[in-house]
A and B are shown apart, each in its own frame.
Chain A
Amino acid sequence: GAVVSQHPSWVICKSGTSVKIECRSLDFQATTMFWYRQFPKQSLMLMATSNEGSKATYEQGVEKDKFLINHASLTLSTLTVTSAHPEDSSFYICSATPTSGSFKQYFGPGTRLTVT
């Protein structure tokens, strides 16, 4: 149980275009979802915390107008990278916390974004 999926698993896009990444909790409801990015050989950096039905809370230094987050339901959150640039190329991972109150986060498999 507690499976989180992400789509797409990898995407290549041209500079200036937008890319949407979906994060779904498949067998549980998630009040809170988190979005991370991970550069090669580095740790996960929290980008934003997404609560269902409310605006996301962004970490310092993360542009909310560039990384649009929508959490419309208890099982789906989306991250849209707008006007992507090569420096946005990274591994984006989402995680979800069940509504049961557990601290545990379940991670999606990640999305590899390459901007050319």
Chain B
Amino acid sequence: GQQVMQIPQYQHVQEGEDFTTYCNSSTTLSNIQWYKQRPGGHPVFLIQLVKSGEVKKQKRLTFQFGEAKKNSSLHITATQTTDVGTYFCAGGGSQGNLIFGKGTKLSVKP
């Protein structure tokens, strides 16, 4: 079945450093969504990318969707302690469902 691989599993950075997480799908995705889950919380929607090669920015966060619509990345510039959490990518499946990656847990050392 459809799978979404996400790396790295963990990332520890010093505050102010950049951070990137990558997702790769075995099949073409209708869209890719990114969620952030704080410890003890539920996933919160960040953004959705639909078009091939699309790039979107939210302040220090940059999201990219690959040309083949099989991969995506989330880049955070100059991380802050408030960025701590687990970032999940989720690929849009053929039935409107989401296939989640395993997530990248980001910790930021002040």
Q: Which residues of B contact A49 (CB under 8 A)?
A: 95-97
Chain B interface size, under 10 / 10 to 19 / 20 to 34 / 35 or more: 20 to 34
Contact B43 A107 (CB under 8 A): yes
Are A93 and B42 CB-contacts (below 8 A) given A34-B98, A49-B95, A103-B96?
A: yes
Please report whether the interface of chain A is mostly helix, strand, loop or mixed according to DSSP: strand
Q: Mark B82-110, 1 if CB is under 8 A from A, else 0.
A: 00000010001001111111110100000
Q: Which residues of A contact B95 (CB under 8 A)?
A: 49, 57
A residues with a Cβ closer than 8 A to B are: 32, 34, 36, 41-46, 49, 57, 60, 93, 95, 97, 103-110
B residues with a Cβ closer than 8 A to A are: 1, 30-31, 33, 35, 41-45, 48, 50, 88, 92, 95-103, 105
